[in-house]
Amino acid sequence: MNLTVENVSVSIDKKTLLRNIGLRVEAGEFVGMIGPNGSGKSTLLKSVYRILQPDAGIITLDGEEIHRMSPRQTAQRMAVVRQESPVEFDFSVREIVMMGRSPHKRLLESDTAQDREIVDDALSRVGMQEFLERSYTTLSGGEKQRVLIARALAQQAKFLVLDEPTNHLDIRYQLQIMDLVKVLNVTVLAALHDLNIAAVYCDRLYVIESGEIVAFGTPEEVLRTDIIRDVFGVETEVIIHPITGKPHITFFSDTRVRKTRGGR
Protein backbone atom coordinates (compact mmCIF):
# COMPACT_ATOMS: atom_id res chain seq x y z
CA MET A 1 0.00 0.00 0.00
CA ASN A 2 1.49 3.39 -0.95
CA LEU A 3 0.64 6.91 0.16
CA THR A 4 0.87 10.04 -1.96
CA VAL A 5 0.42 13.55 -0.62
CA GLU A 6 0.30 16.20 -3.35
CA ASN A 7 0.32 19.97 -2.85
CA VAL A 8 -1.49 19.78 0.47
CA SER A 9 -2.16 23.02 2.31
CA VAL A 10 -3.99 23.43 5.59
CA SER A 11 -5.01 26.65 7.32
CA ILE A 12 -6.97 27.13 10.49
CA ASP A 13 -8.35 30.53 11.50
CA LYS A 14 -6.48 32.20 8.61
CA LYS A 15 -3.17 30.78 9.86
CA THR A 16 -1.35 28.57 7.34
CA LEU A 17 -0.22 25.40 9.10
CA LEU A 18 0.90 23.47 6.01
CA ARG A 19 1.94 24.89 2.66
CA ASN A 20 2.16 22.82 -0.55
CA ILE A 21 3.26 19.60 1.09
CA GLY A 22 4.27 16.79 -1.24
CA LEU A 23 5.45 13.42 -0.05
CA ARG A 24 5.32 9.80 -1.02
CA VAL A 25 5.63 6.59 0.96
CA GLU A 26 6.21 3.53 -1.19
CA ALA A 27 4.68 0.16 -0.30
CA GLY A 28 6.61 -1.37 2.59
CA GLU A 29 8.64 1.77 3.19
CA PHE A 30 9.20 3.27 6.67
CA VAL A 31 9.20 7.04 6.27
CA GLY A 32 9.85 9.45 9.14
CA MET A 33 8.84 13.06 9.53
CA ILE A 34 11.08 15.18 11.68
CA GLY A 35 10.94 18.85 12.60
CA PRO A 36 10.77 21.20 15.57
CA ASN A 37 7.78 21.52 17.88
CA GLY A 38 4.89 23.19 16.13
CA SER A 39 6.34 22.67 12.64
CA GLY A 40 3.25 20.82 11.35
CA LYS A 41 4.03 17.09 11.72
CA SER A 42 0.80 16.22 13.55
CA THR A 43 -1.21 18.50 11.27
CA LEU A 44 0.05 16.59 8.25
CA LEU A 45 -0.66 13.23 9.90
CA LYS A 46 -4.15 14.41 10.87
CA SER A 47 -4.79 15.28 7.23
CA VAL A 48 -3.67 11.79 6.28
CA TYR A 49 -5.91 10.09 8.83
CA ARG A 50 -8.74 12.44 7.97
CA ILE A 51 -9.22 14.38 11.17
CA LEU A 52 -8.43 17.48 9.13
CA GLN A 53 -9.65 18.32 5.67
CA PRO A 54 -6.94 20.15 3.70
CA ASP A 55 -7.88 23.39 1.93
CA ALA A 56 -6.02 22.22 -1.15
CA GLY A 57 -4.23 19.15 -2.46
CA ILE A 58 -4.86 15.44 -2.76
CA ILE A 59 -3.98 12.50 -0.50
CA THR A 60 -4.25 9.00 -1.95
CA LEU A 61 -3.72 5.46 -0.69
CA ASP A 62 -2.90 3.10 -3.54
CA GLY A 63 -4.24 5.76 -5.89
CA GLU A 64 -7.59 6.11 -4.10
CA GLU A 65 -8.37 9.50 -2.67
CA ILE A 66 -8.74 9.08 1.09
CA HIS A 67 -11.31 11.82 1.57
CA ARG A 68 -13.64 9.89 -0.75
CA MET A 69 -13.38 6.65 1.25
CA SER A 70 -15.85 5.71 3.96
CA PRO A 71 -14.47 5.72 7.52
CA ARG A 72 -14.75 1.91 7.49
CA GLN A 73 -12.78 1.57 4.25
CA THR A 74 -10.10 3.88 5.66
CA ALA A 75 -9.91 1.88 8.91
CA GLN A 76 -9.49 -1.37 6.99
CA ARG A 77 -6.44 0.10 5.29
CA MET A 78 -4.96 2.47 7.86
CA ALA A 79 -4.21 2.16 11.58
CA VAL A 80 -3.24 5.19 13.62
CA VAL A 81 -1.30 5.50 16.86
CA ARG A 82 -1.66 9.06 18.13
CA GLN A 83 0.24 10.97 20.76
CA GLU A 84 -2.74 11.10 23.07
CA SER A 85 -5.81 9.00 22.60
CA PRO A 86 -8.05 10.08 25.43
CA VAL A 87 -10.37 7.32 26.57
CA GLU A 88 -13.37 8.72 28.36
CA PHE A 89 -14.89 5.51 29.63
CA ASP A 90 -13.44 2.79 31.74
CA PHE A 91 -12.63 0.16 29.13
CA SER A 92 -10.49 -2.88 29.86
CA VAL A 93 -7.28 -3.42 27.93
CA ARG A 94 -8.97 -6.30 26.10
CA GLU A 95 -11.85 -4.04 25.03
CA ILE A 96 -9.51 -1.31 23.79
CA VAL A 97 -7.49 -3.72 21.67
CA MET A 98 -10.65 -5.47 20.44
CA MET A 99 -11.74 -2.09 19.00
CA GLY A 100 -9.01 -2.67 16.42
CA ARG A 101 -11.09 -5.55 15.06
CA SER A 102 -14.26 -3.48 14.43
CA PRO A 103 -13.44 -2.38 10.84
CA HIS A 104 -13.38 -6.08 9.94
CA LYS A 105 -16.79 -6.89 11.47
CA ARG A 106 -20.39 -6.19 10.69
CA LEU A 107 -22.41 -3.95 13.01
CA LEU A 108 -23.05 -5.72 16.36
CA GLU A 109 -21.26 -8.87 15.20
CA SER A 110 -19.83 -10.57 18.29
CA ASP A 111 -16.17 -11.32 18.80
CA THR A 112 -15.00 -14.57 17.28
CA ALA A 113 -12.33 -16.95 18.56
CA GLN A 114 -10.10 -15.60 15.80
CA ASP A 115 -10.61 -12.00 17.02
CA ARG A 116 -9.66 -13.09 20.53
CA GLU A 117 -6.56 -14.84 19.22
CA ILE A 118 -5.52 -11.74 17.25
CA VAL A 119 -6.02 -9.54 20.34
CA ASP A 120 -4.01 -11.92 22.55
CA ASP A 121 -1.25 -12.07 19.98
CA ALA A 122 -1.13 -8.27 19.59
CA LEU A 123 -0.90 -7.81 23.36
CA SER A 124 1.83 -10.38 23.76
CA ARG A 125 3.83 -8.71 20.97
CA VAL A 126 3.94 -5.48 23.00
CA GLY A 127 4.54 -7.33 26.28
CA MET A 128 1.10 -6.48 27.72
CA GLN A 129 -0.63 -9.88 27.81
CA GLU A 130 -0.72 -9.84 31.63
CA PHE A 131 -2.82 -6.67 31.53
CA LEU A 132 -5.76 -8.11 29.57
CA GLU A 133 -8.42 -7.44 32.24
CA ARG A 134 -6.93 -4.24 33.67
CA SER A 135 -8.78 -0.96 33.33
CA TYR A 136 -7.07 1.12 30.64
CA THR A 137 -7.31 4.29 32.75
CA THR A 138 -5.18 2.73 35.51
CA LEU A 139 -2.20 2.13 33.21
CA SER A 140 0.98 4.20 33.14
CA GLY A 141 1.67 6.38 30.09
CA GLY A 142 4.03 3.81 28.57
CA GLU A 143 1.64 0.91 29.21
CA LYS A 144 -1.18 2.89 27.56
CA GLN A 145 1.03 3.55 24.57
CA ARG A 146 1.82 -0.15 24.20
CA VAL A 147 -1.89 -1.01 24.36
CA LEU A 148 -2.64 1.54 21.61
CA ILE A 149 0.09 -0.02 19.51
CA ALA A 150 -1.47 -3.45 20.16
CA ARG A 151 -4.83 -2.05 18.99
CA ALA A 152 -3.17 -0.87 15.77
CA LEU A 153 -1.62 -4.33 15.31
CA ALA A 154 -5.00 -6.03 15.88
CA GLN A 155 -6.43 -3.81 13.14
CA GLN A 156 -4.08 -5.58 10.67
CA ALA A 157 -3.93 -2.57 8.38
CA LYS A 158 -1.35 -2.39 5.63
CA PHE A 159 -0.60 1.26 6.34
CA LEU A 160 0.40 2.59 9.76
CA VAL A 161 0.42 6.23 10.82
CA LEU A 162 2.41 6.82 13.98
CA ASP A 163 2.47 10.18 15.75
CA GLU A 164 5.38 10.02 18.18
CA PRO A 165 4.79 6.31 18.84
CA THR A 166 7.47 5.95 21.49
CA ASN A 167 7.21 9.22 23.41
CA HIS A 168 6.14 7.60 26.69
CA LEU A 169 8.29 4.51 26.41
CA ASP A 170 11.49 3.64 28.23
CA ILE A 171 14.46 2.89 26.00
CA ARG A 172 13.91 -0.87 25.94
CA TYR A 173 10.31 -0.53 24.76
CA GLN A 174 11.21 2.26 22.33
CA LEU A 175 13.53 -0.13 20.55
CA GLN A 176 11.19 -3.10 20.92
CA ILE A 177 8.22 -1.24 19.42
CA MET A 178 10.28 0.16 16.57
CA ASP A 179 11.70 -3.32 15.86
CA LEU A 180 8.19 -4.74 15.96
CA VAL A 181 6.82 -2.16 13.52
CA LYS A 182 9.82 -2.68 11.25
CA VAL A 183 9.26 -6.42 10.89
CA LEU A 184 5.52 -6.04 10.21
CA ASN A 185 6.51 -5.20 6.65
CA VAL A 186 3.74 -2.66 6.29
CA THR A 187 3.93 0.90 4.97
CA VAL A 188 4.68 3.38 7.75
CA LEU A 189 4.57 7.17 8.06
CA ALA A 190 5.79 8.26 11.49
CA ALA A 191 6.41 11.61 13.17
CA LEU A 192 9.51 11.18 15.30
CA HIS A 193 11.41 13.45 17.65
CA ASP A 194 14.37 11.21 18.37
CA LEU A 195 16.70 11.76 15.42
CA ASN A 196 18.91 8.80 16.33
CA ILE A 197 15.91 6.48 16.34
CA ALA A 198 14.78 8.01 13.03
CA ALA A 199 18.27 7.39 11.62
CA VAL A 200 18.20 3.70 12.47
CA TYR A 201 14.63 2.77 11.57
CA CYS A 202 13.57 5.03 8.69
CA ASP A 203 14.25 4.29 5.04
CA ARG A 204 13.68 7.94 4.21
CA LEU A 205 13.01 11.15 6.10
CA TYR A 206 11.14 14.37 5.39
CA VAL A 207 12.11 17.47 7.36
CA ILE A 208 9.29 19.89 8.03
CA GLU A 209 9.77 23.44 9.25
CA SER A 210 7.06 26.11 9.65
CA GLY A 211 4.62 24.01 7.63
CA GLU A 212 6.91 23.34 4.67
CA ILE A 213 9.10 20.44 3.64
CA VAL A 214 12.64 21.79 3.69
CA ALA A 215 14.62 18.57 3.07
CA PHE A 216 14.06 14.92 2.28
CA GLY A 217 16.08 11.85 1.50
CA THR A 218 17.79 8.94 3.21
CA PRO A 219 18.89 9.45 6.83
CA GLU A 220 22.46 9.87 5.53
CA GLU A 221 21.35 12.65 3.18
CA VAL A 222 19.16 14.46 5.68
CA LEU A 223 20.78 14.10 9.09
CA ARG A 224 23.63 16.49 8.41
CA THR A 225 25.14 19.01 10.78
CA ASP A 226 24.11 21.97 8.58
CA ILE A 227 20.50 20.83 8.15
CA ILE A 228 20.07 20.08 11.86
CA ARG A 229 21.58 23.47 12.74
CA ASP A 230 19.29 25.32 10.31
CA VAL A 231 16.12 23.51 11.35
CA PHE A 232 16.60 22.84 15.06
CA GLY A 233 19.21 25.48 15.93
CA VAL A 234 21.43 22.90 17.59
CA GLU A 235 25.09 22.04 17.03
CA THR A 236 25.88 18.40 16.40
CA GLU A 237 28.52 15.96 15.43
CA VAL A 238 27.28 13.28 13.04
CA ILE A 239 29.20 10.06 12.48
CA ILE A 240 28.30 6.86 10.69
CA HIS A 241 28.04 4.42 13.56
CA PRO A 242 30.34 1.42 13.10
CA ILE A 243 27.72 -1.06 14.37
CA THR A 244 24.48 0.22 12.85
CA GLY A 245 26.07 1.71 9.72
CA LYS A 246 23.62 4.61 10.18
CA PRO A 247 24.18 8.26 11.12
CA HIS A 248 24.60 8.78 14.84
CA ILE A 249 24.19 12.28 16.20
CA THR A 250 25.73 13.81 19.27
CA PHE A 251 24.06 17.07 20.28
CA PHE A 252 25.76 20.06 21.89
CA SER A 253 23.97 22.89 23.59
CA ASP A 254 24.96 26.29 22.32
CA THR A 255 26.54 27.23 25.67
CA ARG A 256 28.71 24.14 25.67
CA VAL A 257 29.94 24.90 22.12
CA ARG A 258 30.72 28.49 23.09
CA LYS A 259 32.63 27.35 26.19
CA THR A 260 34.69 24.82 24.20
CA ARG A 261 35.53 27.50 21.65
CA GLY A 262 36.62 29.82 24.46
CA GLY A 263 33.63 32.16 24.15
CA ARG A 264 31.47 33.32 27.03
Please spell the DSSP secondary structure of 70-84, one letter per residue: -HHHHHHHEEEE-S-
**Residue 3 CB, nearest approach to ligand ATP (Å):** 17
Chain residues that interact with ligand ATP, rule: CB under 6 A: 12-13, 15, 17, 35, 37-43
Cα(41)–Cα(83) distance, integer angstroms = 12
**Whose Cβ is closer to ligand ATP: residue 46's or residue 125's?**
46
How far apart are CB 40 and ligand ATP at their closest, in Å?
4
For residue 35, the minimal CB distance to ligand ATP (Å) is 5
CA contacts within 13 A on the Cβ side of 214: 19
Tell me the closest approach of the beta carbon of residue 128 to ligand ATP, in angstroms: 25
Which CB, 17 or 149, lies closer to ligand ATP? Answer: 17
Helices (DSSP H) in 21-167: which residue ranges?
41-48, 71-77, 93-98, 113-125, 141-155
Q: Cα separation of 153 and 158, whole Å?
A: 10
Cβ atoms of residues 105 and 116 within 8 Å: no
Would you say 212 or 235 has its CB closer to ligand ATP? Answer: 212
Instruction: Between 31 and 96, name the residue whose CB sits nearer to ligand ATP.
Output: 31
